[in-house]
Structure formats: structure tokens, C-alpha cells
Structure 1
Amino acid sequence: MEDSGDFHNSCEVTSSGRDESNSHWVMPHLLIKMLSKSRWKILALLVVFAVMVWYYTSWEERYIQLFYFPVQEEKSVCPQGEVEKKTALLIGNYTRDHPLFLQLKDYFWVKTISPYELPYGTKGSEDVLLRLLAITSYSVPETILSMKCRRCVVVGNGHRLKNSSMGEAINKYDVVIRLNNAPVYGYEQDVGSKTTMRLFYPESAHFNPKRENNPDTLLVLVPFKPMDFHWMESILNDKKRVRKGFWKQPPLIWDANPEQVRILNPYFMEITAAKLLNLPMKQLRKVKQKPTTGLLAITLALHFCDVVHIAGFGYPDSGNKKQTIHYYEQITLKSMAASEHNVSHEALAIKKMLELRVVKNLTYF
């Protein structure tokens, strides 16, 4: 009985073992069969994934090449003529014949009557302009004019400069152009300390220009309206201050050396509006939009420099209501709502410059 029982049990074990071995064999077989049927699908997915990885990588590289240029070019190589050639593709009838700053002799004898009023011309403001030009200057320092290669950087006021550590790189440029009341003191590590030119208008003038600029900085007035000339004249002549006619009260005390003050040629504002923003110059009174000082500064650099780089340009996405727009204060894009600047329009103009490689970026855009 035990033998028959042992035999029976052994048969059960053998049968069970065969079933288990069959199941171990059947499962891999089914899996291989399933994979065999799906191999083309899997292969297709792998191909799609590979293409997506390649596209993303190449797109990122193209973006960096177009909109980000973290290293300054070697000073031994100067691409003379490149800026002019590329800017001519961007600006019709491009020329460097126009002076950067207004001169007394051109207005004393009324050589050319401007067809536009401020900010695109001086029509109707000649009298006060004459008085202002008599106490300021128009020359560009010989140290800059004599340079074989003028490497310029236009430093915007954007939040992208905060914690950027770009200060040392910015200071290495021959010409550093800054905007409005953007401070340098206390932000040197991110924005540098060198200032060759500072473009501003009365409402954006820093109350202490000597603290935020170098002793030889050219303080360039960007006139938007006749009252801007009156403000500057009253400040430099220490006359009764002009208080009305401004959207924001400008400084009543502005300690600057008249020899360092320049009046920007409105020609560059006209070119910025007409050629870069395509504003209808024949209907100026109907068009409220005006270029920002930043875009104007880039236009100026394109007419003066052999190398033009920019840093700190670009605004947050329109949907981002909390992101600050400047590296030195907490105001957001909401503050631009009532301005006469179309930041989206200007962003497209700058991106076009980057795509044509007319300018290069030190910070991402």
C-alpha cells in the first residue's frame, strides 16, 4: 500500500512538475509572441522619442545661439563693417552721417528745419533749444572717437540682471550705455560700475547723478516734449524750476556738470519709431505709442558702434503679474499699462535684431 501510495504520489509530483515547467515555458513564449507583434509599434515609439530629443536639443542650441551670448568676443578680432551691413537689412536708407548730439551751430543759423515736433524732431522748440545748446556741449570724447573698434553694450534695466554676476563682463566694454535712473551703486556685481553714456528724460533722471555715474559720463537728455528742454535749462541755469507739464515730478535739484550734458539728436527717435516699430510718421498726432529709452539706446548704438551687445532686456510674460520688471525695484508689468510703450511690439523688434545677429545678448531674452 505504501509502495502504491508512493508511486501515486511520485506520479503526482512528476505531473505537477511537468505542468510547472510547461507554464514556465509557455509564459516567455507568449511574451515573445506579444513583443513580436508589437515590435514595430515599439520601434516607432523609439524613433518618435529620438526625434523629439533631437529636435528639443537642436532648438535649445538655436535659441542659445540667437538669444544668449555669455562670453565677450576676443578683442583682437573686430568685425568692422558687420554692424552696418546687417543694420542696413533692418533699417532702410541706413546711414551714419547724422551726429549723435544736437549742435548750436545747426540751430543758430537754422540750417535745416525739422519736419516733426518732439520727440521725433525739434519743430516749434527752436528758441528754448538754442538757449540750452549754448550752455551744454555736443562733442564725443576723443578717446572714444579714436578707437579702431568700438565695442558697446547697452545695459537694460530688466530683472534678468538681478543675481547675474555680469558686472565684470560689462565693465570690459569700451562703451557702456545705461538707461534712465537705473542705479549702479550697490549693484556693481550684477550691472558693473562703468557708464559711458546715460540716456534719460526729466521724469527718469536720478536725483543724484554724480553717485550713479562716472565723472566723465555723458548725460544724454532724450527730449520727449518742449517742457523737457525748459526743465534742463532751469536746472543748469539755476532758474525757477518748472513744475507743470510732467507725468511725474522730475528732480528739482540735479547736480550735474553742464559740460557733461548732451541733447540726443531726435533723428534716432524717428528712426526707432519709423523703421523698427513701423509707426506711421505721417499720423503722429493719432499715434500715442512711443519707443522706450531702451530700444532708442540700441538704435543709437547701431549707428555708432562696431560691436553691439545688450544685457537686461526683456519683460516677463504678460500673464505673469507678480514678476518684477526691474533689477532694482519691485514694480511689476502692471505699471506699464498706462504708458505709451508697446512692450510686445518692441520685443518683436529686438528678436528680429537677434535673429539677424545685428546684436548679441549677454542675458537670455
Structure 2
Amino acid sequence: MGLLVFVRNLLLALCLFLVLGFLYYSAWKLHLFQWEDSNSVVLSFDSAGQTLGSEYDRLGFLLKLDSKLPAELATKYANFSEGTCKPGYASALMTAIFPRFSKPAPMFLDDSFRKWARIREFVPPFGIKGQDNLIKAILSVTKEYRLTPALDSLSCRRCIIVGNGGVLANKSLGSRIDDYDIVVRLNSAPVKGFEKDVGSKTTLRITYPEGAMQRPEHYERDSLFVLAGFKWQDFKWLKYIVYKERVSWTHNIQREKEFLRKLVKARVITDLTSGI
């Protein structure tokens, strides 16, 4: 009986300790959140990383992201009518709301990619660290890695991005989409048979292996295929395609299968499908 009383008291003490610990932790997190929030108006930067004052949040964005343009931009673009292409507008507005914004690197990798030291410091998807040889091999046989001369010659380009989530179904926005200079489609966003809703023009198709259409005839002959590499296997996948080698859609999972077989054999897990 004495042992049961001791265990009960021990459990009560432990529960009390856990409750107090939780309350203390919650209070600390709340204080930390408030501290970060109060400091978010102080930590703001210009394009060189210097503090600006109290108008920007901790990431460097304007605290008030409304539709009003800064006075300088409003004056510069005052004579442009709604819907017309405004040269440099997107970059100027982005710089206004996020002063740290810069675009020194080209949109697409080309033969000069080795000189961009910053993107070589980080592994995919934030850079190309460790991918130099693969990228060099791909670019050596790539015919195009820029926009077409006709698009490059435009002083201003209006762009639209079309996804593949199905939200354009029955919206009849096809003709409006085709009015844009550059139409970017993501992954397997369909076109054929859906022109009324999604348009018929494709300038760029951006994808990665898992989201790519697997049949060549589904791609537009007059569009540019753009790989968004999130991991090193993505660059290897593109190399397989460019050199017309056997495509490996996944990495070698033999070690994982061997590990899982051991778990099944030891009855740690159950393989209901007998697929391991």
C-alpha cells in the first residue's frame, strides 16, 4: 500500500512539473515572438544590406504592402494606360517594396555560369554546387538557352504564368492569355484541347522530372523547355534526355529496399503488398 501511495505522489509531482514546464516554455515562446515582432520594424535594409529605419520588416519587405506606388514610380508610369506594358516596372516596384532585391545573375544558365560565384556556393535548389560537370555537359550540346531573338529585342515584355491545377477550367481566358508576350506554363499544364480556357501559345515550359510530361509529342515544338533543378538528380535526369540515354526517373533505391527487407524479416514492419 505504501508503494502505491509513493508512486501516486511521484506521478502527481511529475505532472505538476510538466505543467509548470509547459507554462514556462509557452511564456518564453510568447515573449520571444513579441520580441521578434517588435524588432521586425527595426531590422530593415537597403540594397547593400544597411539598415533603413522602421518602415521594413525583419526580412526587408515594406511593412505596408498596399497598391499605392511610391511617388517616384507613380510619376514615372503616370502616362501608361492600364494593361499596357511598362518597361522596368516589375523590377522597380520589387526594389521599392524589397530594397535588397537584385538580379545580377542571368535568368538561364549559359556557358558563363562558372563566373557566378554566389550560386556555386549553395547546393540545389539554392545554387549549383557540385553540379559543374553535369551542367557543362548539358550546355555543350544545348542549342538554345536564351529567349528567342524576337522576344529579346522587345523593349518591354508582358508575362503570364499558367499552372496545371485546373483553376482555368471553363473560364474562357484563352484569348486573353495568348495576348501576353511570354506565356510560361508549369509542369504538365495541358494545352491541346483546352485552348479556349488556357490559350494556345507556350513560350516557356518550366518543369522538374516528377512534374514533366513523359511523352515528347505533348511538348510544343516552338517553346523552350526550362528545367527547375531542385536536387542533383534533376540535373542528371536532364543529361540523360539531352544525350538520349536511358532515363532514370528515380535514384537507385536498392539500399532502401535492403533496409526495409530486414525490417520486414524482423517483423518490425509488415509488407502488405509484397512489393519489397
Query: Counterpart of 1:216?
Result: 222
| Structure 1: unaligned runs, 5 residues or longer | 1-64, 67-72, 248-365
Query: Counterpart of 2:197?
Result: 190
Query: Over residues 263-304 of structure 1, what are the superposed CA-to-partner deviations in whole Å (9 max), with x where a residue is unaligned?
Result: xxxxxxxxxxxxxxxxxxxxxxxxxxxxxxxxxxxxxxxxxx
Give the C-alpha shift of residue 229 in structure 1.
1.1
Q: Which amino acid aligns with 2:230?
A: F
Q: Write the distance in 2 (CA, Å) between the matches of 1:92 and 1:147.
A: 26
Query: Counterpart of 2:133?
Result: 127
Query: Counterpart of 1:106?
Result: 113
Q: Write the distance in 2 (CA, Å) between the matches of 1:145 and 1:121.
A: 25
* Identical residues among aligned pairs (%): 35
* Correspondence for 1:180 among 179, 187, 207: 187
Change (3 A) 1:225 1:84: same
Query: Over residues 320-359 of structure 1, what are the superposed CA-to-partner deviations in whole Å (9 max), with x where a residue is unaligned?
Result: xxxxxxxxxxxxxxxxxxxxxxxxxxxxxxxxxxxxxxxx
| Structure 2: unaligned runs, 5 residues or longer | 1-66, 69-80, 254-276
Instruction: Give the number of equivalent residue pairs.
Output: 173
Query: Over residues 45-78 of structure 1, what are the superposed CA-to-partner deviations in whole Å (9 max), with x where a residue is unaligned?
Result: xxxxxxxxxxxxxxxxxxxx99xxxxxx767x43
Give the C-alpha shift of residue 122 in structure 1.
0.6
Q: Write the distance in 2 (CA, Å) between the matches of 1:119 and 1:111.
A: 15
RMSD: 2.5
Give the C-alpha shift of residue 212 in structure 1.
4.0
Structure 1 outlier segments of 4+, above 6 Å: none
Q: Does 1:162 align with 2:150?
A: no
Q: Write the distance in 1 (CA, Å) between the matches of 2:246 and 2:164.
A: 32
Query: Counterpart of 1:232?
Result: 238
Structure number with greater Rg is: 1
Give the C-alpha shift of residue 98 in structure 1.
1.9
Query: Counterpart of 2:121?
Result: 115
- TM-score, structure 2 as length reference: 0.57
Q: Which amino acid aligns with 1:237?
A: Y
Query: Counterpart of 1:15?
Result: none
Is the 8 Å Cα contact of residues 203 and 246 (structure 1) preserved in structure 2?
no
Q: Which has the higher contact order (CA 8 A, sep 6+)?
A: 1
Q: Which amino acid aligns with 1:160?
A: V
Give the C-alpha shift of residue 221 in structure 1.
0.4
**Aligned ranges for residues 48-87 of structure 1 at < 5 Å?**
77-87=84-94
**Aligned ranges for residues 1-365 of structure 1 at < 5 Å?**
77-107=84-114, 112=117, 114-136=120-142, 137-213=144-220, 215-245=221-251
Say which SS state the counterpart of residue 112 (structure 2) adopts: helix
Give the C-alpha shift of residue 246 in structure 1.
8.7
Give the C-alpha shift of residue 93 in structure 1.
2.3
